[in-house]
A = this chain, B = another copy of it.
Amino acid sequence: MFQVNENYAKLPGSYLFATIGRKVKAYQEAHPEKKIIRLGIGDVTQPLAPAIVTAMQEAAGEMGQAETFHGYPDYEGFAFLREAIVAGDYRARGVDIGMDEIFVNDGAKCDSADLGDIFSLRNKVAVCDPVYPVYVDSNALVGRSGDWLNDEGRWSNLIYMPCTAENGFAPEFPQEQPDMIYLCFPNNPTGATVTKDRLQEWVDYARKIGAVIIYDAAYEAYISEPDVPHTIYECEGAKECAIEMRSFSKNAGFTGVRLGFTVVPRELKCGDVSLNQLWLKHQEIKFNGVSYVIQKAGAAVYSPEGRAQTQEQVAYYMNNARVIREGLSAAGYTVSGGVNAPYIWLRTPKGMSSWEFFDYLLETANVVGTPGSGFGPHGEGYLRLTAFGSYENTLAAIERIKKL
């Protein structure tokens, strides 16, 4: 008799955003007349830039002609896209990354979850707390997170690195020694960042203890202040200890297009074993590349027109972030984030729990946030708001919250 993976039964509940989706749907069905404003899930609302639409339409046309048809894509991604990435995201910042270190994927979430596949199940994992749930849940599914301790609201075998108001929502080195460290800057969910000097300390720490850093830079495009690193490879020695994940979802509005990439440097090794070669093997066995049409859309992001148009979108969302930050501050709320990131991290008022405040906002203001406790124990007492709504909706949502 077949058995199922016993780790699924350990998961405490549904995936956070799926739970929110179901709650909002239930509320909307019960109150069809209410106009709900969603500042919860980090989904963009602006349409794709014209240069990207044109590129996709042309690519679709090419797929309809025998001379320009493309079959199975390369496992690593088409050369034209990897070249654009190397030039636009790395060489332009003085960082030397080779084409064969880039692995194109169908959205950073998949690789966030799948990168664990190439590591030993015995590795000890450290995560920020609060944290993007995919890192935790994907490790839980293979048993690496240990058991769920319901009373404590945490996994038994994870190292949690608290990110609190006291440390500016940037973690300190953990007391217990980790083998794998997930870091995300600019941070989801808190919107916090670290300086280049501080990130260099993390790289030095990882090299000293022999840990690998899995660095999520999905929100890099939102960095507005100097001295905030755009890639971990700005730090010396990072190619020997860090994998970097990037996404087109937030810098170019690709949440519904599905494109991202992962950098696995050649210098990153475990003894004689090259992690770059392990990941290539993983992709050859378990993946079959990304649609030609979608990769052409990605390349268009790096064209002069695409760049100008997508930067305009980022500026639009960052104006929303300012509206949220300033509006809620003026109304007496305690907020952080929203300067180098599209996320605002909001202290719940009157001692409400995260889910109490979520329900309260949904029911009284018809505004959807994301409960901070869904991101980890130290997220309790916070709510995440995103700047990805329309300007009009963002303004309306803040006005509604102000009136509560």
Q: Which A residues are within 8 Å of any B CB, using their own CB?
A: 1-6, 8-9, 11, 14-15, 17-18, 41, 43-50, 52-53, 56-57, 60-61, 63-66, 68-73, 75, 106-107, 109-110, 113-114, 117-123, 133-134, 137-138, 141, 179-180, 209-212, 255-258, 270, 273, 275, 278, 281-282, 284-294, 390
Contact = CB atoms under 8 A, between A and B. Distances in A.
Contact of A141 (B17, B122, B282): B282
A110 B4 contact: no
Given A47-B66, A71-B44, A179 B1 contact: yes
Contact of A106 (B66, B106, B134, B179): B106
B14 A281 contact: yes
Contact of A284 (B3, B15, B107, B121): B15
A353 to B, nearest CB: 23
B293 A56 contact: yes
B180 A2 contact: yes
B53 A2 contact: no
B114 A286 contact: yes
Report how many copies the assembly holds: 2
Given A2-B123, A45-B71, A122-B3, A291 B8 contact: no
Contacts of A138: 285-286
Contact of A257 (B68, B119, B291): B291
B3 A179 contact: yes
Given A14-B281, A281-B8, A70 B256 contact: yes
B256 A119 contact: no
Given A4-B273, A5-B118, A107-B288, 9 more contacts: A3-B120, A3-B122, A5-B117, A18-B284, A72-B255, A109-B287, A138-B285, A258-B289, A291-B291
Given A2-B179, A47-B63, A110 B287 contact: yes
